[in-house]
Structure 1
Amino acid sequence: MTGSALLSALAIGLGVGIVGRLVLPGPKAAPVWLTVALGVAAAVLGSVTIRLIGVAVDQALPLLLAQVGFAVTAVVVGVLTAGRRGAEDVPRS
């Protein structure tokens, strides 16, 4: 992975993590650091995946789409599942 791909993954992950935290409705059980970390990790995974598929690194659009797609998916899933509680976690009266 090139330095520019890593920097773009970092920027996209930070942006998606913060915006996703603000935009998604419902209770915010996931902390901000978790959404940002999920966004960054997923954007890096998108970069690695697009490289493994064989797309040239100098093609910016496929790289950008993969990073954003992976980051958005991870943040949405992370925020939505963080607020769910299992039956064993429900306080008893």
Structure 2
Amino acid sequence: MEITGIITAIVIGVVVGVLGRLVLPGRQHIGVLWTIVVGIAAALIGTFIAAGIGVADTRGVDWIELFIQIGLAAVGVAAVDRAKVRV
């Protein structure tokens, strides 16, 4: 993977992670790095799911893919938040 691909993954991870946190009500007790990690994972998994159901290759913005990624990020942020509270 090239450096531009890594930087792009981090930027998309930040955006998806932050949007996932905004979807959840209340305050989440996780840091910025966890948000980025969850966002990157949600973006990758969401892309694979969107490709699997055939909605990843559309003209313009892939809204369905983005909504899948944000939903996965919200679930991931909630899971990390719960795991950190119990530890």
- Equivalent residues, number: 75
Letter in 2 for 1:33: L
Unmatched tracts of structure 2, length 5 or more: 1-7
Distance 1:25 1:15 in 2: 18
Equivalent residue for 2:64, pick from 62, 66, 71: 62
Aligned partner of 1:89 in structure 2 is none
- Cα distance 1:58–1:10, how it changes in 2: closer, same or farther (>3 A)? farther
Distance 2:85 2:45 in 1: 24
- Cα distance 1:31–1:71, how it changes in 2: closer, same or farther (>3 A)? same
TM-score by length of 2: 0.63
Unmatched tracts of structure 1, length 5 or more: 1-6, 86-93
Larger radius of gyration: 1
The 5 A counterparts of 1:11-50 are: 11-18=11-18, 20=21, 24-25=26-27, 28=29, 30-50=30-50
RMSD of aligned residue pairs (Cα, Å): 2.7
TM-score by length of 1: 0.60
